[in-house]
Structure 1
Amino acid sequence: MNQTTFELFSVVIAVAAFAFAAWLYQWVKKQPSSNKKIAEVGGLIRSGAATFLKKEYTVLARFACVVAILILLFLPHPIWQGNAAENITMAVAYLAGTALSALAGKIGIEVATIANVKSAEAAKKGIKPAFLTGFRGGAVMGMAVVGASLLGVSLVMLITGNASAVLGFSFGASSLALFAKAGGGIFTKTADISADLVGKVELGIPEDDPRNPAVIADNVGDNVGDVAGMGADLFDSHVASLAAALVMAASLGGSNVNMVLCYAALGLLASIIGVAMARMGKNGDPSGALNNSTYTTTFVYIILTAIATAVFNFVWRIWFACIVGLLVGVIIGIATDYFTNDTKNPVRFVAKASKSGPAFTILSGMSYGMLSIFPAMVGIAVASLLAYKISEPLGPGYAMFGISMSAVGMLSIVGMIISNDAYGPIVDNARGLAEMGELGDDVLSITDDLDSAGNTVKAITKGFSIAAAGLTVIALLGAFMSEVNSAAAELGKTGIEGFDIINPLVFFGLIIGAAIPAIFSAMLMLGVDRNAQRMVAEIHRQFNEIEGLKEGKPGVKPEYDKCIEIATTGAIRELIPAGLMAILATIAVGIIGGVKAIGGFLGGNIISGLIFALFMSNSGGLWDNAKKYVEAGNEGGKGSDAHKAAVVGDTVGDPFKDTAGPSINTQITVVSLVASLMSALFLTISIF
């Protein structure tokens, strides 16, 4: 079969994913909902999310237009020196990447803000219907994100026949994801921290008490951060893994491009099958149901790709490299689960330490967060080493291609991973709606169980996405070398085979690259800090000035829109600087030290970024579930000193796990793509 056949096959599977997403959307929409109070609050959440997304996308559209003009003028070569058609193709591909990433986020928000209401109402019938409603709502996002990414990559290949153009598409997806994740993360944690500190710690009122002016903004934040933001993040990772694999596959020739497209399409098909089969068992364990659906999808993918490898005579060594990545991804998810699940020792030890005060909550949580780095880093190292060694005998270039296919394998079931991830904020919202709609303690208990599973799964998916980003950017380092060597051959210059860290240029880049994730994280968390302080002041004003609000007198409502406005304005203001800093630092290092300095820069950025991302995501998830474990009646329960300390820990962990941590892997991907796209410029323009 020729390449066009596999490109068309990928398009067909992507369209099938959209059709399945449409069916799931209609199924969720048809679920009953009759509670007027829940409908009113759900409407406020939907309106707030839509307003934020509109403002964020307006800002990002302007940014994307400016970048597209710069790409048109300078990439892959200055337009006055090279082929203008290549520059136009790259700019159009970039804009297509941003547009499809934004569309996937918009679809996710649309269904999540309906599924939260439906899931809360379904909880009146029991945990099984509530679970299925929440999961299928999340699955719409999963199918839409992966369908859009596969469709975009396949069409770029089909129309241009140029794997390098996929890098432009990937850069569009990554740059939007970087700012969407940062903006959504700042919004959601501004509201979450403010609501918790004033509501739980100061006043001792419940988490989703409608008297709290920040409670609607908090629920809006779950959607813009964990649905739209995380969806854009995994869209970016999936596209980047395919871009890196396709660039190297094209340079190697043969049937390698066909293999990449076939394996990616079968991953989406396996996710469709896994989502369709997802059910909760007799024991009513939502975490078990989510994990089993992941294992089912993994098994289906292994079988489908093995059949395809045999039928189309693909290289079995590359298949093994792909499956290594997939299995390591599952193992990393299990390791993350150990450190963040409230049924395991780390969370319980932190909850117990909270009885001695918030300092011990922070110390124990940070320690376990640091310990949690090791399994994931070892997993990434083992996956890359095995993929490299398995593929090395195939010839020059195949070792790095093996690593890129390992990343494709790890991200092959990303449709299921996103479905699990988007389930989290949907049931979190459902829990809040159940409390505000006064549906009773039995319903609250069900939604608490669903929410706890959602938190654990969110932690697992964050660990998975960070690990996948790690393998992807190692593959992108290979793609960078391929692009440099192609440009060097055209310009009559010497190419590169590797990076010697004793070389002062490489070492210079290494040090700068390692520092970027720390600065990037600090900028995002300071943005949350500044914004949350403004919102806390607004909550205090409302409790002091609105008569009867604190007492909960009938008919007295807080001004929810004021808090939503503070979160929106602050997030839009803070989202551009951190991402721009990372991009400009990459360009500066390239201009100063050339391609060797960039090689070091990427290496330092990858290692440092993975450590920071894993530490912050896992410790944040651990603190969150330690708080929920105490709230379930353990170690003193709600209102105890342990509870107040655990809330403080969760407040520190919020920007760790939902703002900075998961944004770092997108930052690593963005700078890797900038390096690949500008490789020819760095070869010709560098001070040293």
Structure 2
Amino acid sequence: MPGATLAVGGELSLTGTNLRFVIIAAVIALVALSFAFALTRAVLATGRGTNKMQEIAGAVQEGATAYLVRQFKTLGIFVVIAVVLLFLLPVTEAGDDETSVKIGRSLFFIVGAVFSAVIGGAGMALATRANLRVAAAAREDGGRERAMQIAFRTGGVVGFMTVGLGLVGASVVVMIYGGNAPTVLEGFGFGAALLAMFMRVGGGIFTKAADVGADLVGKVEQNIPEDDPRNAATIADNVGDNVGDCAGMAADLFESYAVTLVAALILGRVAFGEDGLVFPLIVSTIGVVTAIIGVFITRLRVSDRSGMTAINRAFYISALLSAVVVSLAAWFYLEPTWGDLLGETEALAALDVASTDDIPVGPQVFAIGAVVIGILLAAIIQALTGYFTETHRRPVQDIGKSSLTGPATVVLAGISVGLESAVYTAIVIGAGVYGAFLLGGSSIVLSLFAVALAGTGLLTTVGVIVAMDTFGPISDNAQGIAEMSGDIDERGARTLTDLDAVGNTTKAITKGIAIATAVLAATALFGSYTAGLRAAFTEAYGETKAADVIKDEITNLLNVSDPSNLVGLLLGAAVVFLFSGLAINAVSRSAGAVVFEVRRQFRELPGIMDGSQRPEYGKVVDICTRDAQRELVTPGLLAIMAPIAVGFGLGVGPLAAYLAGAIGAGTLMAVFLANSGGAWDNAKKMVEDGAFGGKGSPSHAATVIGDTVGDPFKDTAGPAINPLIKVMNLVALLIAPAIVMLSAGADKNVPARVGIAVAAAAVIVGAVVWSKRKPISVDAGDNDASPTPATETVSA
């Protein structure tokens, strides 16, 4: 192992050997991007099906591209404002390099945002072309295996782009900024997280407004199939799958990767010195290699029960391979004792322990244990989520059986499944965090670094995880294109239905894993938050006085007997509920507009039902696009402004409690929403496959209602909580030095702090009031569009 130096702000620079490791990481990241390019060409070279299929797919591509372009124009305003604010916020421990670090943080904020946008946009662009090819492949001999391969390899492209761009961004920052890299990477992670949150919320509102509207009018009122071309909302529904599940979730998983890596590097610099900046990159590099292997070994065998069998096999093989290779890397890269790694005196100072004997394991075992915990956590969540959402498992079958007694029992059964699954998932995540924490012994810094390494270990499988997620909407779109075109036989339709059901499960699994990474990253970022406070207190008060201030403030951070901390905790949990409510209500309003528009077309264009008139698909796409752009503003402002209001208004202690409340409530809420929604969706598919009366039966109508309730749960509010938690943590991390500096004067600058807090709170209140003043159903039109008096008063 190369000689290491203790990291102190900007004084650390990489030694020659470690610099070579970082360069190798960047090169392998570029290799992943080249694999993405090669796979793209292979996917696009496959058959495109019939002219009718190509026409439908072209409409979906056009709608998805138009939406994403419009969204990026909207988000550009937020990016410009964030860049200016980032430059104005103070940094600590930068020494004489403060200005260059501020510039770098702002610059790499833009890079993180652009990378997030590129991954989301490129993933969506390929998915809107691959869906056609999957539908075409299902018509051929051996279509089951071929369609599965095309769908998963398309997801693999997005996976390779995620790990490639994430790793190359982090590597470049480490090479350029050395010991100041973690501060600059705060901007990189914040840019990725902020854009991902907006894309997730906006895409989620679009996709579920179209989906709910299409189902309620088409399936329930008109009794026509899900993707029947006579339904004016079908094109918007398929567009939504791409802008929500492809673009939104791809950006979300990229920011999970970036933010987790940022947290590992921030804490690694403190705990391991120079090696702490390099080892997380080595782990991520190994993850790139295993991602490539995992995608290429995902093959559906004739003997496999379903596509889930092939996906699980590849996932577990790649996870095992990651664990073995990371263990070997840690064993040969790191030293066996803390004294050898840092020097005995330096180790005591860096790790804040009385003796290195207080740490139960050496650096090698510490690193191996932390990474393996993360990999095991991903595998357990995969199995646990699959149990609660797969069609052949008891929870989904019980929901399907409850449809015999109507939609109310379907809704109740789905809620109970989501609530129960959230408990088990939270226990598993908590056990992973606690297990990693124990590795650090009495050193809090080391324990938090272990949590960050566990997150990095979990994300060694992120390439396969992203492929699994993108697989879902591609399969869903392929089924829609096949049904709308009518150019598919019974065998091909069965293949696409099976792949769609697998896709529902893979989407639920990736959401579960994404929230696990949010918890690990947020816990690690909390450690970064306390480390940042120490530096800020030292800079504000000086070395002598800072020691006492640090002792009092850090010790009291999560003391809930302090009323202000308790208030912060409650506010953090409350924001998760408000954010979820705003997102679900946004879908409800926009879906109401879609319902009225589709009803209008069925009423005013009578030729739709006999096929003599073409529905006006573009009007529904326009409604969803407009509403999604308008509705994403309030949740976005809430995520950014709430930590500012709490931090400047109540102080750094209540802000820490706020983050703790958001992490706890967010974990449970996100898993509940994702799993209940996934279970409802697959219960509907089980009935559509012939169980409990099949399509057109009262049981089918009941499960459709359950699915429409679950749509904004699993594809809007639930997955958006993941970037929400990380955005709020990063905002807290960025503003903490400013809060400390404003609190350091004799008068503690109360007017300035209160002014900032009141302004932030006013923005939140104004945004929420503005949101509530909108009608329940935008553009409801004339009430005669409603078929029954009970729904004539949908508009507020």
Choose from 473, 476, 479 the match for 1:428: 476
Where does residue 324 of structure 2 map in the other structure? 303
Aligned runs of 1:547-562 on 2, under 5 Å? Answer: 547-553=606-612, 556-562=613-619
Choose from 651, 654, 677 the match for 1:597: 654
What is the alpha-carbon distance in structure 2 between the residues aligned to residue 459 and residue 605 of structure 1? Answer: 21
1:292 has 2:313 as partner: yes
In structure 1, give the amino acid aligned to 2:455. A
Choose from 189, 200, 205 the match for 1:181: 200
In structure 1, give the amino acid aligned to 2:691. N
Residue 254 of structure 1 deviates from its aligned partner by: 4.4
1:15 has 2:64 as partner: no
Residue 396 of structure 1 deviates from its aligned partner by: 5.3
Contact 1:75/1:90 (CA < 8 Å) preserved in 2?
no
Where does residue 276 of structure 1 map in the other structure? 296
What is the alpha-carbon distance in structure 2 between the residues aligned to residue 630 and residue 75 of structure 1? Answer: 58
Deviation by residue 1:301-327 (Cα, 9 ceiling, x = unmatched) = 112112211221362212211111110
What is the alpha-carbon distance in structure 2 between the residues aligned to residue 590 and residue 36 of structure 1? Answer: 58
In structure 2, give the amino acid aligned to 1:228. A
In structure 1, give the amino acid aligned to 2:264. A
Deviation by residue 1:639-671 (Cα, 9 ceiling, x = unmatched) = 111110100000000000000000011100000
Deviation by residue 1:378-402 (Cα, 9 ceiling, x = unmatched) = 1111111111112326x45111111
Where does residue 530 of structure 1 map in the other structure? 589
- Which structure would you say has the larger Rg? 2
Secondary structure in 1 aligned to 2:561? coil
Residue 170 of structure 1 deviates from its aligned partner by: 0.3
Where does residue 758 of structure 2 map in the other structure? none
What is the alpha-carbon distance in structure 2 between the residues aligned to residue 209 and residue 188 of structure 1? Answer: 17
What is the alpha-carbon distance in structure 2 between the residues aligned to residue 547 and residue 611 of structure 1? Answer: 47
Where does residue 119 of structure 2 map in the other structure? 104
What is the alpha-carbon distance in structure 2 between the residues aligned to residue 75 and residue 216 of structure 1? Answer: 48
1:164 has 2:223 as partner: no
1:446 has 2:467 as partner: no
Where does residue 471 of structure 1 map in the other structure? 520
Aligned runs of 1:614-633 on 2, under 5 Å? Answer: 614-633=671-690
Contact 1:351/1:627 (CA < 8 Å) preserved in 2?
yes
Choose from 484, 500, 511 the match for 1:462: 511
What is the alpha-carbon distance in structure 2 between the residues aligned to residue 249 and residue 317 of structure 1? Answer: 13
What is the alpha-carbon distance in structure 2 between the residues aligned to residue 34 and residue 353 of structure 1? Answer: 39
Aligned runs of 1:574-653 on 2, under 5 Å? Answer: 574-653=631-710
Where does residue 663 of structure 1 map in the other structure? 720
Deviation by residue 1:575-624 (Cα, 9 ceiling, x = unmatched) = 12112112111001000121101110000000011111010000000100
Residue 685 of structure 1 deviates from its aligned partner by: 2.8
Secondary structure in 2 aligned to 1:412? helix
What is the alpha-carbon distance in structure 1 between the residues aligned to residue 694 and residue 417 of structure 2? Answer: 22
Aligned runs of 1:343-422 on 2, under 5 Å? Answer: 343-392=392-441, 395=443, 397-422=445-470
Deviation by residue 1:522-581 (Cα, 9 ceiling, x = unmatched) = 11111111111111111111111123102223xx21111111111100000011211211
Residue 282 of structure 1 deviates from its aligned partner by: 2.3
Residue 141 of structure 1 deviates from its aligned partner by: 0.9
1:235 has 2:254 as partner: yes
Contact 2:269/2:275 (CA < 8 Å) preserved in 1?
no
Residue 137 of structure 1 deviates from its aligned partner by: 1.0
Choose from 202, 207, 214 the match for 2:226: 207
1:69 has 2:84 as partner: yes
In structure 2, give the amino acid aligned to 1:214. A
Contact 1:583/1:671 (CA < 8 Å) preserved in 2?
yes
What is the alpha-carbon distance in structure 1 between the residues aligned to residue 706 and residue 74 of structure 2? Answer: 33
Where does residue 52 of structure 1 map in the other structure? 67
Residue 11 of structure 1 deviates from its aligned partner by: 0.8
Secondary structure in 1 aligned to 2:147? helix
What is the alpha-carbon distance in structure 1 between the residues aligned to residue 331 and residue 91 of structure 2? Answer: 38
Deviation by residue 1:67-122 (Cα, 9 ceiling, x = unmatched) = 11111122437x9x993322212111111110111011111011101110110000
1:192 has 2:223 as partner: no
Secondary structure in 1 aligned to 2:38? helix
Contact 1:332/1:375 (CA < 8 Å) preserved in 2?
no
Where does residue 122 of structure 1 map in the other structure? 137
Secondary structure in 1 aligned to 2:460? coil
Deviation by residue 1:441-497 (Cα, 9 ceiling, x = unmatched) = 221111001111111111111111111211111111111111111212222233225
Over 3 Å counting, the alpha-carbon distance change for 1:420 and 1:637 in structure 2 is same
1:675 has 2:749 as partner: no
What is the alpha-carbon distance in structure 2 between the residues aligned to residue 301 and residue 87 of structure 1? Answer: 36
Contact 1:214/1:563 (CA < 8 Å) preserved in 2?
yes
**For structure 1, which segment, 500-509 or 632-641, has the greater mean C-alpha deviation from structure 2 after superposition?**
500-509
Where does residue 84 of structure 1 map in the other structure? 99
What is the alpha-carbon distance in structure 1 between the residues aligned to residue 296 and residue 175 of structure 2? Answer: 30
Contact 2:101/2:183 (CA < 8 Å) preserved in 1?
no
What is the alpha-carbon distance in structure 1 between the residues aligned to residue 513 and residue 275 of structure 2? Answer: 29
Gaps of 5+ in 1: none
Residue 129 of structure 1 deviates from its aligned partner by: 0.4
Contact 1:107/1:144 (CA < 8 Å) preserved in 2?
no
Residue 257 of structure 1 deviates from its aligned partner by: 1.7
What is the alpha-carbon distance in structure 2 between the residues aligned to residue 645 and residue 317 of structure 1? Answer: 52
In structure 2, give the amino acid aligned to 1:237. S
Contact 1:297/1:413 (CA < 8 Å) preserved in 2?
yes
What is the alpha-carbon distance in structure 1 between the residues aligned to residue 593 and residue 334 of structure 2? Answer: 61
Residue 293 of structure 1 deviates from its aligned partner by: 1.2
Where does residue 143 of structure 1 map in the other structure? 160
Secondary structure in 1 aligned to 2:299? coil
Task: Indicate the percent of aligned positions where both proteins have the same amino acid.
Answer: 39
In structure 2, give the amino acid aligned to 1:436. M
What is the alpha-carbon distance in structure 1 between the residues aligned to residue 238 and residue 155 of structure 2? Answer: 16
Choose from 267, 271, 290 the match for 1:248: 267
What is the alpha-carbon distance in structure 2 between the residues aligned to residue 396 and residue 202 of structure 1? Answer: 59
In structure 1, give the amino acid aligned to 2:168. L
Contact 2:270/2:276 (CA < 8 Å) preserved in 1?
no
What is the alpha-carbon distance in structure 1 between the residues aligned to residue 493 and residue 214 of structure 2? Answer: 19
Choose from 573, 584, 589 the match for 1:514: 573
Over the aligned positions, Cα root-mean-square deviation in angstroms equals: 1.6
Deviation by residue 1:236-273 (Cα, 9 ceiling, x = unmatched) = 11111111111111122142221111001111111111
In structure 1, give the amino acid aligned to 2:303. N
Choose from 485, 488, 503 the match for 1:437: 485
Gaps of 5+ in 2: 3-16, 336-363, 744-749, 754-796
What is the alpha-carbon distance in structure 2 between the residues aligned to residue 158 and residue 278 of structure 1? Answer: 35
TM-score (norm 1): 0.97
Contact 1:329/1:468 (CA < 8 Å) preserved in 2?
no
Contact 1:594/1:685 (CA < 8 Å) preserved in 2?
no
Secondary structure in 2 aligned to 1:211? coil
TM-score (norm 2): 0.84
Deviation by residue 1:261-295 (Cα, 9 ceiling, x = unmatched) = 10011111111111122111222420101111111
**For structure 1, which segment, 8-17 or 220-229, has the greater mean C-alpha deviation from structure 2 after superposition?**
8-17
Over 3 Å counting, the alpha-carbon distance change for 1:534 and 1:237 in structure 2 is same
**For structure 1, which segment, 645-654 or 86-95, has the greater mean C-alpha deviation from structure 2 after superposition?**
86-95
Secondary structure in 2 aligned to 1:32? coil
Contact 1:76/1:678 (CA < 8 Å) preserved in 2?
no
Where does residue 778 of structure 2 map in the other structure? none
Secondary structure in 1 aligned to 2:664? helix
